[in-house]
Structure 1
Amino acid sequence: MANTPSAKKAARKIARRADINRTRRGRMRTFVRKVEEAIASGDAAAAAEALRAAQPEMMRAAQKGVVPKNTASRKVSRLAARVKALSA
């Protein structure tokens, strides 16, 4: 347990950031899941729309440091490829 005032403050800040990051990560996963479900259903239009909604959310998570930038880019790229293959 933190003993000094600065360590106590640091613990509070870390807990607050962890909550925010957990929310952002969960939000990103929800958007990705919607794309996955649309792909699984075979609906190309819904998948494309879900991807358009998910992409900025994923990149925002990367910008905020929740996930690495390359990870978000890779996920967007792979989802886009799957959506494109679905419509072709």
Structure 2
Amino acid sequence: MANSAQARKRARQAVVARAHNGSLRSRLRTAIKAVQKAVVGGDKAAAQATFRTSMSTIDSIADKKIIHKNKAARHKSRLSAAIKAMTA
């Protein structure tokens, strides 16, 4: 339990930040899954279009430091490799 007014305020802020960060992390996972689903679907054009939109989502979440920039780069690299491995 927080003892000072400052600690109580930081605890309140942490609850809000945690909820917001969780929703951003969920958006990230959804974007990644959308690309993976498009790759499994077999339509390369659709997978590329989904990847382009997901890339901006991944980058924006990395910019907000919800995930590390290297983790974002790793996700983008693996998704890109999966799309390139698809036959046209």
Report the residue type matching 2:3 in the other structure: N
Which blocks of at least 5 consecutive residues in structure 2 are unaligned? none
2:66 aligned counterpart, secondary structure:
coil
Q: 2:67 — aligned with what?
A: 67
Residues of 1 paired with 2:56 and 2:39: CA distance?
A: 19
**What corresponds to 1:77 in structure 2?**
77
Aligned-pair Cα RMSD in Å:
1.0
Give the deviation of 1:16 after TM superposition.
Answer: 1.1
Name the CA distance, whole Å, in 2 between partners of 1:82 and 1:75: 11
- 1:26 — aligned with what? 26
Gaps of 5+ in 1: none
What SS does structure 1 have at the residue aligned with 2:29? helix
When the two structures are aligned, how many residues end up with a matched partner?
Answer: 88
Amino acid at match of 1:73: A
Deviation of 1:7 (Å): 0.4
Spell out structure 1 runs of 4+ moving beyond 4 A: none
Identity rate, percent:
38
CA distance in 2, matches of 1:83, 1:70: 20
Q: CA deviation at 1:85?
A: 1.4
The residue number in structure 1 matching 2:17 is 17
Distance 1:12 1:56 in 2: 30
Distance across 2 between alignment mates of 1:18 and 1:86: 38
- Please, what TM-score do these two structures have when normalized by structure 2? 0.94
What is the CA–CA distance in structure 1 between the aligned matches of 2:45 and 2:17, rounded to whole Å?
A: 36
The Cα shift of 1:15 comes to: 1.1
Shift of 1:71: 0.3
